[in-house]
Amino acid sequence: MKIVLIGYGKMGHVIEEIAQERGHQIVLTIDRDEEHLFNDPRFTTADVAIEFTAPAMAYDNCSRAIDRGIPVVSGTTGWADKMPELKARCEAGEGTLFWSSNYSIGVQLFLQINRRVAELMQRAPGYRLSLDETHHIHKLDAPSGTAITLAETILSERPELHGWELTEEPKEDILPIIAHREGEVPGTHTVTYTSSVDRIILTHEAFGRQGFALGAVLAAEYASSHRGWLTMDDLLQQD
């Protein structure tokens, strides 16, 4: 494939490395303050764009790709308020957007594990549930998009809980999320069930960006030959 990278920070460089290892070509990189490159002729030669930038930039970046007929894979979180508009456009056949809060295959398995555990734990009402996430100090949104996805996955199996909240104060009918920003931590998410007699802990810890980058390239390969609004469920459920 020919790939445009929108966002050329640490994540962009790792994606470039893995994409090239898989035989793909990076035809253009667009970084902060380089919006003029969306008009570069190389942009429209691409099979797909991969976008990892900042919440304030993601909507415009993805819109520009869709407007130019280029499928786009976005891993930027923190812009959920504007996402429904682009989802509707893609579902109407106007373009292709593959979005996920986390492209790690391990995280996708972790989500499935937590859905099943949340269902099982309904049989044990004496446990208090909490979610904790830690990321590097450069991450702008809190809680992380992965933590929100994880919370929503758990809540789908726990009807007695009425939502999640970013707080360190436990509330009876709310799933609390605690967010930490420390050093260069790639991403750690922990779900804890605590009772008066024991504790159950489920943790996913990323060792680096490689797992996220590989998933994003796999998503780009999928998006290059599929259309509409796409997610990791589509990628993982393909034959």
- Active site residue ranges: 135, 139
**CA 99 to chain CA mean position, Å:** 7
Cα radius of gyration (the chain): 19
Angle between the 83-91 and 55-67 helix axes, to the nearest 10 degrees?
20
| Torsion sign, CA atoms 99, 103, 105, 109 | negative
3-class secondary-structure state, position 204: strand
Task: Find residue 20's DSSP bridge partners.
Answer: none
Give the DSSP H/E element, type plus range, for residue 113.
helix 105-120
